Amino acid sequence: MAHVTRSMMTLVDATEHLTIDGCDAVELADRFGTPLWVVSETTIRGNARRLREAFTSVHPRTRIVYASKANPEPAIVRIAHDEGCWVDAVTMGHLRLLERAGVPTAHTVFNGNAKTDEELGWALAHGIGMINVDSAAELAAIARLQPTDAAPVDLCLRLATDPARHGDDPAYAADERGSKFGMSEAEVVAALEVITEHPGIAFAGLHNHVGFPAYDLPYTGELDLLRHRRAADQTLELAADLAERGIPCRIVNLGGGFRVPKEHGFGPKGLTDIPPVEDYANVIGGAVASAGLGDVELLLEAGGYLVADAVTLLATVLHRKVAIDGGPDWVIVRDTSAYHYVRALMYGFEHHAVAADRISSPPDERVRLAGPVCTTDTLAEADLPRLEPGDIVAILDQGAYCESVTSDYCAIPTPAAVLASRGRSAIVRRRETVQDFVDRFSVPDWLD
């Protein structure tokens, strides 16, 4: 069991089945079918509390903002909000999912770089808690749409990363130089003039977002912390400059890209040196606490940390196939593939796999798990007990940017999702059927 490290996963002594938040994984597969995403409520709550405790111990005025783009299932959003998080949305789809989850719009941060008039109008009319403004064009739209006699809406101005601060990190500097996000410091100052002239909008503070930079950039835990520190310093130095001009920041919004360290490795090339959240807290929270900005509130965007290791994908073995390349044999699973979590294919993202019906059995062989897609769709390569048709395998760490960016390539329907909680389970996303997929399409009459 050393390879399964999270409390959500334990052994059932009598069956040696994987359990997820008190639920037998094999029984879940039998009851709900496969492929199946299984979400652990207990893990999400534990991650949220550890993140909050780490940061508030360094900077007490910290509020976690769950970035719903990581996984926007309303059940997950509800859990995050129950744990005291505000929630970050990027599109109207997100806003409506948050509404379904029961999150007050006053606890919602509207993010993103391409907000339409329709989205902004809805957010303003429904009392959005905060808007992170990405550009001068967006600010102009908000000023046009917001009545001058309305209650002021809080705005954070998104600051673009200054590549000059990362001269010894050239790949990251080049990546940020080409980013579509945020405004220069000069653009921020110009935006403040617009805000001060409009009684229906209010300057709340500054926003800066690092994200998880390991996808196609050099990565070490130390380098990741340095990037976050430099982003915080850039933001806090501008905040101090604005305070000297008589424009204080009430809020600095920083994030995100935190992940839970995994002994078995996680992410691009199976990273094993992801820092613990306490290290992020010391670097980011420590910078805010020592910035001399008074009682400034830190909003901490965090999506992946809350959910990355809280979701497991269950799949059923269809058959085996001897590899002609002399490598590990292929174990083919039914109705799912890495296209259901396409970052595995985009960035070489590695996900650990276990045999859900023999969790403590020693491995017999190394195999490659793959699905029915007519191109490379390897789910994982792993050392496992010998798998036969009908066996259940579990692909771990599926919570962040798996379900939210899933693909139906080769007309394979999207899996269902079930929430597990201390032995209880319930569907939180219905399974898409082949007919659901087909019904999206039509043929014009003139082609008959």
Residues 390 and 242 in one domain: no
State both tokens at 364.
């017999």
Give alpha helix (H) positions in 245-346: 277-280, 286-289, 304-307, 343-346
Mean pLDDT to the nearest integer, 370-388: 94
The half-sphere exposure of 421 on its side-chain side, counting CA atoms within 13 A, is 12
Q: Which residue has the tokens 């805010």?
A: 288
The residue segments making up the domain with residue 275 are 41-306
> Which pLDDT tens digit goes with each residue over 46-90?
999 999 999 999 999 999 999 999 999 999 999 999 999 999 999
Residues 239 and 155 in one domain: yes
Q: Is residue 4 part of a domain?
A: no
> Which pLDDT tens digit goes with each residue over 114-154?
999 999 999 999 999 999 999 999 999 999 999 999 999 99
Instruction: CATH number of the domain at 95, please.
Output: 3.20.20.10
Q: Is residue 71 part of a domain?
A: yes
pLDDT at 139: 98
What whole-number percentage of the chain has pLDDT above 90? 86
Cα torsion angle, 54, 58, 61, 65, sign: negative
Q: Is residue 448 part of a domain?
A: no
Residues 255 and 330 in one domain: no
> Which pLDDT tens digit goes with each residue over 342-375?
888 888 889 999 999 999 999 999 999 999 999 8
pLDDT at 111: 97
If pLDDT is split at 50, 70 and 90, which confidence band does 8 have?
low
Residues 248 and 354 in one domain: no
Residues 366 and 255 in one domain: no
Mean pLDDT to the nearest integer, 7-35: 84
Look at residues 306, 333, 356 and tell me which one is the last residue of a structural domain.
306
Residues 20 and 98 in one domain: no
Instruction: CATH number of the domain at 29, please.
Output: 2.40.37.10
Q: Is the pLDDT of residue 3 over 50?
A: no
Mean pLDDT to the nearest integer, 320-346: 92
Residues 265 and 156 in one domain: yes
Residues 132 and 192 in one domain: yes
Q: Is residue 295 part of a domain?
A: yes
> Which pLDDT tens digit goes with each residue over 397-421?
999 999 999 999 999 999 999 999 9
Look at residues 257, 291, 306 and tell me which one is the last residue of a structural domain.
306
Mean confidence (pLDDT) of the chain:
94
Q: How far apart are CA 205 and CA 405, in angstroms?
A: 31
pLDDT at 293: 95
State the DSSP string of 12-60: -TTT--EEETTEEHHHHHHHH-SSEEEEEHHHHHHHHHHHHHHHHTT-S
Residues 105 and 234 in one domain: yes
State the DSSP string of 202-216: EEEEEEEE---TTSS
Mean pLDDT to the nearest integer, 427-438: 97
Q: Is residue 1 part of a domain?
A: no
Q: Is the pLDDT of residue 327 over 80?
A: yes
Q: What is the pTM of this model?
A: 0.95
pLDDT at 422: 97
Residues 297 and 315 in one domain: no
Contacts of 283 (CB under 8 A, 6+ apart): 225, 228, 229, 232
Residues 156 and 234 in one domain: yes
Q: Is residue 382 part of a domain?
A: yes
Measure the CA angle with vertex 267, ends 359 and 301; round to 5°. 115
Look at residues 306, 338, 363 and tell me which one is the last residue of a structural domain.
306
Written as one letter, the residue type at 132 is N
For residues 434 and 411, is the Cβ–Cβ distance under 8 A? yes
Q: Is residue 65 part of a domain?
A: yes
2-16, 107-121, 213-227, 265-279: range with highest mean pLDDT: 107-121
Written as one letter, the residue type at 136 is A
Residues 78 and 171 in one domain: yes
Chain centroid to CA 52: 17
- Per the structure, the count of domains in the chain is 2
Q: Is the pLDDT of residue 92 over 60?
A: yes
pLDDT at 9: 61
pLDDT at 1: 31
Q: Contacts for 111-120 with beta carbons within 8 Å, 24 or more apart?
A: 111/67, 111/301, 113/138, 113/180, 113/181, 115/141, 116/92, 117/141, 117/145, 118/92, 119/91, 119/92, 119/95, 120/145
Q: Is residue 445 part of a domain?
A: no
